[in-house]
Structure formats: C-alpha cells, structure tokens
Amino acid sequence: MFDAIDAFLAIPTPLIVIFVLLFWGLIAYVVHTLVVPTLCGKEGGKLGKFEAEVTSQIALAFGLLISFNAVWLWDRSERVRGAIYDEAAALSRIVDDAEDLAADGTPELVVRRDAICHAVKTYAEFLIEKEWPTLREGTTDRARPAALSALRATLRVSGDETMRGALVQAESARDLRIRDGLQHMQPPRWGVVFLLAVLLLISIGALHGEAPRGRKLALTLVTLAVAFCFAVLFVSARPFVGTYAMQPDELRNVVFRAASEH
C-alpha cells in the first residue's frame, strides 16, 4: 500500500492538486445530488431544522485533526532536514581537521590528510549516488556501509579523537535521516481525517437542505478548503518523494571540499 502512495506522491504537484480537487468534487456532487435529498427530501423539509452548531463542531474537529497531522509531517521534515545539515557539517569538520593536521607540510601528515579526505569523499559520494535514491524508494539499508567502515578505519589510524567524534555525530545524523525520512503517517490517521471531511460536507449540505443554490455554493467553498488541506498534506507527506524532495546539496559541497584538499 505504501508503494502505491509513494507512486502517487511522486507525480508533479499540480497533478496532485488536480486529482485531489476532482476526488473531493465528486464526493461533494454525490452529497448534493444523492445524500442531502435522501436525508432532507426534495423540498428540504423532511429532516426538520438542522442546527449550525453541529456543522461548527464537525468543522472544529476536522480543523484540529488536520492541524495535528500537518504539525507531525512538518516536524518530521524539519528533523530530517536538520539531520542532513548536521551530517554534512560533521563531515566538513573532519575535512577541516585533516587540513589542519598537515598545516606544517610534513610529508607523513600530508599523506594522512590525503587519505582522510579521500575516505570522506568516497563516503559522501556513496551517500549521494547509492544511498539517496533508496530513500526515495524506501529500501535504504540502515546497516553501516563499507565506505563508512573504511572512513572509520582511516580515522582510527590517525588517532585524532576530534575527527572520530565528528564521525560519530555524522553517523547519528545519518541514522536520524533514514529513520525519520522513511516514516509514513499511519493509515488510520488519514482515514479519520477523511471521514471527518465527509461528515463536514454532509452537514453543510443538510444545513442548506431547503436552498439548493446556497447548498451548491457552500459545498463548493468547503470542498475547495478540504481539497487544499489534503493537497498540502500530500505534498509534505514524504521528505524524499515528490517535487519538493530533499536533495543532497550539502553533501555535494562536502565532496567538492574533500576533493580540493588532496
């Protein structure tokens, strides 16, 4: 099921908005032509007086749940983005420290600096070329890759605790990036929001049961609001999928810096 969701989220954002509008427009049409006449009758008086407070309470519940879900998605995205920055910054500190290591031009230290920078470059290239595509596909291996093990071995030989500490921070940021980046919002949360949105449309229709023209306008406005809320959630649903997917630009800068140091 998640594969199908990711395939939908991967299409261009304008198409997502159009599909969502069409979907909720169809539901609003069914509410207007079938559900409301069944509940209220053709003349709109079958149900009796329908209080606006009912619609207000449903709208409040819908708005609150939409907000909770949006906050969860946006907080997750910020954590992933922060992890990317932290990971790249930690690798950059290793390059900086390697440069300082050979500041006096001692041949042995120059060789050590070149080995460290090469290992950082190789690892960052692995993250960009091999690991990043798997984040989009949801198949990322959380185990320590060979390039990371090679970098750890190189820093172990150097004996520099500062650089080794920076690598630990880079590993922690990678773990956070993968763990949070691959999280999906659970289907029941989507389902409850969907049901509340349907109830909201039905209550709006029942509230205007005696005025078909007013019902059309009210359902149109609420349908647009609901559709836009869902479109925003869909666009933000996966950090590494879709038009606004996060890119490894910071890691590319690490590769460039590491390459220029040796």
Distance CA 134, CA 127 (A): 10
Structural tokens at position 6 = 């990711």
User: Are 98 and 23 in a shared domain?
Assistant: no
Q: Is residue 258 part of a domain?
A: yes
Q: Which residue has the tokens 């649903």?
A: 237
Distance CA 48, CA 210 (A): 10
Distance CA 101, CA 108 (A): 10
Handedness of CA 257, 147, 182, 128 (dihedral sign): positive
Q: What is the pLDDT of residue 88?
A: 95
Q: Is residue 25 part of a domain?
A: yes
How many domains does the structure of the chain reveal? 2
Per-residue pLDDT tens over the stretch 221-231: 999 999 999 99
Tell me if 18 sits within 8 A of 234, measured CB to CB: no
Tell me if 62 sits within 8 A of 70, measured CB to CB: no
User: Are 78 and 11 in a shared domain?
Assistant: no
User: Are 57 and 131 in a shared domain?
Assistant: yes
For residue 85, CA distances in Å to 34, 180, 199 come to: 52, 14, 42
Tell me if 193 sits within 8 A of 62, measured CB to CB: yes
Distance CA 17, CA 19 (A): 6
User: Are 13 and 119 in a shared domain?
Assistant: no
Q: Is residue 242 part of a domain?
A: no
User: Are 63 and 151 in a shared domain?
Assistant: yes
Q: What angle do CA 255, 257, 261 make, to 5 degrees?
A: 115
Q: Is residue 107 part of a domain?
A: yes
User: Are 118 and 160 in a shared domain?
Assistant: yes
Q: What is the pLDDT of residue 58?
A: 85
pLDDT of 82 higher than 90 = yes
User: Are 200 and 115 in a shared domain?
Assistant: no
For residue 238, CA distances in Å to 98, 140, 173, 187, 212 come to: 36, 14, 18, 14, 40
pLDDT of 243 higher than 70 = yes
Q: Which domain holds residue 135?
A: 51-185+247-262
pLDDT of 262 higher than 60 = no
User: Are 174 and 260 in a shared domain?
Assistant: yes
Distance CA 176, CA 9 (A): 22
Mean confidence (pLDDT) of the chain: 87
Distance CA 55, CA 208 (A): 11
Label residue 158 by pLDDT band (50, 70, 90): confident
Per-residue pLDDT tens over the stretch 91-145: 999 998 888 776 666 777 778 888 899 999 999 999 999 999 999 888 888 899 9
User: Are 103 and 90 in a shared domain?
Assistant: yes
Per-residue pLDDT tens over the stretch 67-79: 999 999 999 999 9
Q: What is the pLDDT of residue 2?
A: 59
User: Are 180 and 215 in a shared domain?
Assistant: no
User: Are 30 and 61 in a shared domain?
Assistant: no
Label residue 1 by pLDDT band (50, 70, 90): low
User: Are 37 and 58 in a shared domain?
Assistant: no
Structural tokens at position 135 = 């984040």
Q: What is the DSSP letter of 63?
A: H
Label residue 219 by pLDDT band (50, 70, 90): very high
